[in-house]
A = this chain, B = another copy of it.
Amino acid sequence: MAVYTEVSDDDLAGFVAGYDVGHLTSFKGIAEGVENTNYLVQTDRGRFILTLYEKRVDSGDLPFFLGLLDHLAARGIPCPTPLRDRSGAMLRELAGRPAALVSFLDGMWVRRPGVAHCRALGTALARLHLAARDYEGHRENALTVPAWRALIDACGDRLEEIEPGLAGELHGELETFERAWPSSLPRGIVHADLFPDNVFFLGEKLVGLIDFYFACTDCLAYDIAICLNAWCFEVDGAFNVTKARALLEAYGRIRPLTEEEFEALPLLARGAAMRFLATRAYDWLNTPANAFVSRKDPMEYVRRLRFHRGVAGTGEYGLDR
């Protein structure tokens, strides 16, 4: 949550003049996004978000991300729309960084999502998957089973600092995923990071999906599995089956799950928990405790992984076939 790259008023004015968006009246660095620098740009014609892509984003992926937003926005998905400059380009450069100007979305993210929010999320996620079906871009998921293995191996014995016994447990999990991770489920573009802070609401109405910088090609049901982890656990760690049911039912009304997808959900959800605990554990062990970037507790996702491992069948997510 920071402004990593400072932009001068003169440089910004020159940049904005490249678009047909009116005259600049204000710009403020905003504390949103841990990967990139974002400015809220106001002109006499509207509000926009200027993103400067920092080093953690591979600039080779930017045409995929911006093309995807452009594709989805044209199909009515409430995501940021990249603006094209006077030459038609969506991707430009500012202050030595790749940069894009996108539409501003109203709404706020919900710290404590309720059942209605989960229902709206399920609908929006299914619509997103359908709208992306004819997008021609392709990007491999860089954070799937082999990457989890690499991250956990890099943590090594230090996993024991997080919880005694954790290294062995996670290596057992990795073996399960390497053996059983589904390969024949329906695939397409997934958001892959649809946490509550990436979904904007006005009241219970979902009005925005943002931060597509993990989007990639993978099984569609894996995106649902990520949302089950990110939206359906309470602060005390308990799984809220009512929220899960609302999410799954709403999703299924727009894109019904296949029998295989339905059966695979517990394993996918367990894998999704592994994906987030792997990056969190790595960051936890490799970020100084006094560093400016806040570290997220990996144990939260270890507990979620254990929950999914104990699930006897998809019925425990609230939905009977």
Contacts and interface: CB of A to CB of B under 8 A. Distances in A.
A9 B111 contact: yes
A106 B27 CA distance: 9
A42 interface: yes
Interface stretch (A28-36, A62-70, A298-306): A28-36
A30 B3 CA distance: 9
Interface in A85-116: 106-112
A87 to B, nearest CB: 25
Which of A9, A12, A27, A42 is most buried by chain B, counting CB atoms within 10 A of its CB?
Answer: A9
B112 A10 contact: yes
Interface in A203-231: none
Contacts of A109: 9
A25 B111 contact: no
Contact of A26 (B8, B29, B107, B291): B107
Nearest to A28: B30
Nearest to A105: B26
A222 to B, nearest CB: 28
A292 B30 CA distance: 16
A151 interface: no
Interface of A: 1-3, 8-10, 12, 24-32, 40, 42, 106-112, 202, 291-292
14 contacts: A9-B109, A9-B110, A9-B111, A10-B111, A25-B106, A25-B202, A26-B106, A26-B108, A29-B31, A30-B30, A30-B40, A31-B31, A40-B40, A42-B106
